[in-house]
Structure 1
Amino acid sequence: MDTGFWILQVLNATQYSMLLFLLSIGLTIIFGLLHFVNLAHGALYMMGAYIGISAAAATGSFWGAFVLAPLAVTAIGAFLYFTLIDRLRGAGPMNQVLVTFGLIFVFLDLARMGWGDVALGLDAPEALRGAVPILSVTYPAYRLFLIVLGAIIMTALWFALARTQVGAMIRASVENEAMAASLGIDVPRLFFLVFCLGCALAGLAGVAAAPVFSATTGMGVEILIPTLIVVVIGGLGSLQGAVVGSFIVGWIETFGAVLAPDFASVLPYVLLAAILVTRPQGLLPARG
């Protein structure tokens, strides 16, 4: 295990962390603002991958799929919002969990009917199919693109939440929904826009991950568990918590597979249990 090996693992851990961030930030802002437990978030990620593959085949361009897949998933999310999500907001977490858990299987069957139960791949764009030399290793250019994409989304969300009027309205609605409404903020509309943003990020993560991991009907369930761990560790509704939690889980899973392969699958759950016992609100919660 020379220096190049560890550099490679650091890059792999960072790339996986950025993918977890794209998913967890959508999930955590939906929970933080709407107080809604959306277990179907992973299924939207899966739909983003499959729709991206179809869009790439139809347009002949990866970048066409890169744009169309998040838009299509946003449209699916908007339909779900008006038919189910908005009605269930006051129904309690158990009803929310049961309904969105059922949606997982609905989307699973839709994917099987539409694309079959086989793994499908998506070619990376021509410009990103090579490798880039970094210190003593060469690393796939597309995986570097995923790291840069995650960093751009992270920065854009921070700026939007911390430096814009819309961000101030979102923070105010998270802290005190009734007071925000009394100040003239259209809270229901804001809720809808935030939910659509979360769905768009899930779709973006799906199409972005397809060239690396391929699209399978089980990918939404597989990624949902580590994403939920990220959200709980970081703190519900917290952008900073999503960042920290994504890197903690991403690095633990990557380096755990190298240093302790027999225990790698257990380590995130051990950390989750420790956080729930010692700091149940998460490391960086949105509210005290």
Structure 2
Amino acid sequence: MTETGGAPDATARLQKLFEGHRLTPTQRRIAHCLVRRAADAPFLSSVELAELAGVSQPSVTRFAVALGFDGYPALRRHLREAVPGGAAPDGDGSFNEYQQAVHAEIDNLRHLASLLADPAPVARAGRLLAASRPLPVLGLRAAAAQAGGFAYFARKVHPDVRLLDEGGSLLVDRVDGAVRAGASALLCFALPRHPREVVDALAYARGTGLTVVTVADSTFAPVARHSDLLLPAAVGTGLAFDTACAPMLLGRVLLEAMCDALPDAQARLEEFDAGAVARGLFAE
């Protein structure tokens, strides 16, 4: 799927540019910022990029050199040449800030659609989640809503889903309990800002032998190194609080893939619907 001149292509080019380079944590932070601002990345000054990424201006220069460029101006020229038509983003002010946030989320969804052109990673994730009994689903702070929504629907087709949406000293105990009960995989929703205890919990989970499937905002997220299969879905950053339409939709896509891998999923759904009708559960 090609989005001529749009953010999805720009994001893909940026990610390809970073592949194969051993970046420091600070440099990964800059890379993550560029991916999140893919549409206007070629037009940011080194000072602007440093401010957006929360790093020093010399760090931006070292980042460009680490990628093989003479300096940041050379990197920016490379990014500008990669933009189809060489045009700057529209600056006519036709959209207000609320509309801009919606359009940014539409771009995120288009990018997700382009990633799903290869369904193999999601299909693999669906099989892993379907086979895990029980299935622990982890999401803390900003990601708790995504994890909770997934777990709510997953329980309708999966026999044992365990939501891990509270941190603290009991989190590892709950991971251990899932492992003792026979779990083989763990699903994690990880969104910025990334809680340190989520990173630690994933490292611990992998140490117990669990296969970690993660939905994260970027392949540069700090949870990436502790994930066996990471599925990226960008968040919107144009408002005071991040928006997460793409991660939510990716969660529903994972549910579909899991249902495809559960032979009795349809029967369970029909059983639930029949019970709901008998109880008068929903207003018609």
Shorter-chain TM band: under 0.3
**Greater share of residues in helix:** 1
TM-score, normalised relative to structure 1: 0.28
User: Higher relative CO (CA 8 A, sep ≥ 6), structure 1 or 2?
Assistant: 1
Larger Rg: 2
